[in-house]
Amino acid sequence: MTHANLAASVLSCWEAFRIDHDHRFAAALPLFHGIGQMLTMNVPLAAGACSVLLPRFDAMQMIETIAREQVTHLVTVPAMLRHLLAEINAIEQASTNSSASAPVDTSLKSLQALIVTGTPVDDNLRHALMQRFGVDIFEGYGLAECSPLVRPDITNKHGSVGKQLPGLEFTIVDEKGGELPPGEIGEIVVRGAAIMPAYHNRNEDTQRALKEGWLYTGDIGRVDESGYLYLIDRKTDVIKKAGFNVFPLEVERCLLAHPEVSECAVIGVPAGNLGQEVKAYVVLKRPQAVSAEELIRFCKAQLPAYKCPRYIEFWAELPHGPTGKILKRLLRERVAAQN
């Protein structure tokens, strides 16, 4: 990314997010994260706002920081928000049981907005956040090559990550690069002043990613008639099962709608002539609260049979990277080692 790319992104975000000097941002994401750096450091500094930095994510420390520093905007990922809610519930439960006041103000009433990136916010999490905080929830989407790509819109349609930022343009293309009409699913491509000029010393990768001024993101999505973008999945994550494409995010959203599921990750595993089969790794809110068979039946009531998990494996905790994303790569490596 050049200085000009970053400056263009700052101007777009400053205008779209309407940031002013009274806002206070908490940096829950590391600053090497594209949206984390842009929305918790670059844009607040340009706008004369305050950026509160934490050395790493810790739910209790985050609660204390938001309360002490009167944070108005939290830029984060769903996994961190789940930990935050669980910690608040634990603090309040302990306070109730001991009849003592909570050691920290858990109302976090200074919060005005949650900007969530990484993975979509499932319905259960959104409902819990709205019940707890009652603030605007913006879903962000961006890449290291251009971050972010979409503008916040609290009136956006369910499941959408928003509309394009000022100075950026995105569209959906098929496998041959032809533009698709609204509603059709294909690869998201984007162009504009905030797009990187190249990968450093990686000419072949640059030629694959940049074509005729468009950046090919590697993400699958669709755009509706009103210009709202819907993120479907990573192109490399799509499961190829018996001639069908299964999008893991769709299966994960279904599983996360179950009241006993805290977190999950869906990948494709080798399945002989079928190509791949659907496998889900699930973390439950309460151990053994529901069986694999029950979860599969739950999915079958909402999804076509070919999209439903064939296998479900329960874990106490899924592997996460420093940005809070689930490391599906490690799950795939584990499957490869077992085979």
- pLDDT tens for 149-187 read 787 665 557 778 888 888 899 999 999 999 999 999 999
As a whole number of angstroms, the distance between CA 270 and CA 268 comes to 7
pLDDT of residue 99: 67
pLDDT digits (tens, 9 = 90+) for 297-330: 999 999 999 999 999 999 999 999 887 889 999 9
Work out the average pLDDT over 260-285: 95
DSSP code at position 230: E
Residue-range domain boundaries for the chain: 3-139, 159-234, 238-338
Give the bridge partners for 231, in sequence order: 221
Q: How far is residue 132 from each of residues 109, 127, 128, measured CA to CA in Å?
A: 10, 9, 6
- Which single residue is written with the structure tokens 């009103």? 226
pLDDT average, residue stretch 277-294: 96
User: Is a pLDDT exceeding 60 seen at residue 270?
Assistant: yes
CATH superfamily of 238-338: ANL, C-terminal domain (3.30.300.30)
Q: Tokens 């990613």 appear where?
A: 209
Which has more pLDDT, 95 or 205?
A: 205
Cβ atoms within 10 Å, residue 27: 24
The predicted model scores a pTM of 0.83
Instruction: Find the mean pLDDT for residues 30-37.
Output: 83
The pLDDT, as a whole number, for residue 219 is 93
Fill in the amino acid letter for 39: L
* pLDDT per position as a tens digit, 221-267: 999 999 999 989 999 899 999 989 999 999 999 999 999 999 999 99
Cβ contacts of 333 within 8 Å, gap of 6 or more? none
Instruction: Report the top-level CATH class of 3-139.
Output: alpha beta
> Can you give the pLDDT at residue 101?
67
Tokens of residue 20, six digits: 């002013």
CATH number for the domain formed by residue range(s) 159-234: 2.30.38.10
Phi, psi of 15 (to 5 degrees): -70, -45
Helix (H) or strand (E) holding 262: strand 261-270
Stretch 279-308: mean pLDDT = 96
More confident residue, 118 or 266: 266
% residues pLDDT > 70 (the chain): 97
What does the alpha-carbon distance between residue 223 and residue 242 come to, in Å, rounded to a whole number? 27
What residues does 261 pair with on adjacent strands? Answer: 284
Over pLDDT 90: what percentage of the chain? 66
Average pLDDT over all residues of the chain: 91
